[in-house]
Homo-oligomer: A and B are copies of this chain.
């Protein structure tokens, strides 16, 4: 049986892996400490865009209370073969920016749909300042 090895991924390779979009996980400091929620996302120009509900707990937790100031979050995407324990994971870290006005237009055109049902009128963009990833493969 081949040995499994872990490789760190370059930024370009990370962005290539997450380009198809799908389900990712947004992590942030909530009122109850760190929190994580799965959301559908699309990749747009090197950033992640997802939808949530205006005035939801997530929305409230992501507000700094200061106009124009964004909240630092993490966004994780992975694909894993749990039987063979192979796969990859990518982590984006950066500010979560609420999209309003003209920015909303391209966000709606991106076609991102929310994973959870109900009105999801708020578009949030995570513009990464740091992109890291790792892949576990056979040697």
Contact = CB atoms under 8 A, between A and B. Distances in A.
Contact of A23 (B23, B82, B94, B115): B82
The secondary-structure label for the interface of chain A is strand
Q: In this complex, which of A6, A27, A93 has the most chain B Cβ atoms within 10 angstroms of its Cβ?
A: A27
A17 to B, nearest CB: 14
21 contacts: A6-B118, A23-B82, A25-B78, A27-B35, A29-B29, A32-B130, A33-B72, A33-B73, A33-B93, A35-B91, A35-B93, A36-B36, A36-B75, A36-B76, A36-B91, A37-B76, A38-B76, A38-B89, A40-B85, A80-B115, A85-B113
Given A3-B117, A5-B117, A136-B116, A34 B23 contact: no
A80 B38 contact: yes
Interface string A120-138: 0000000000100010100
Nearest to A139: B117
Interface residues of A, number: 39
Given A6-B117, A116-B134, A34 B38 contact: no
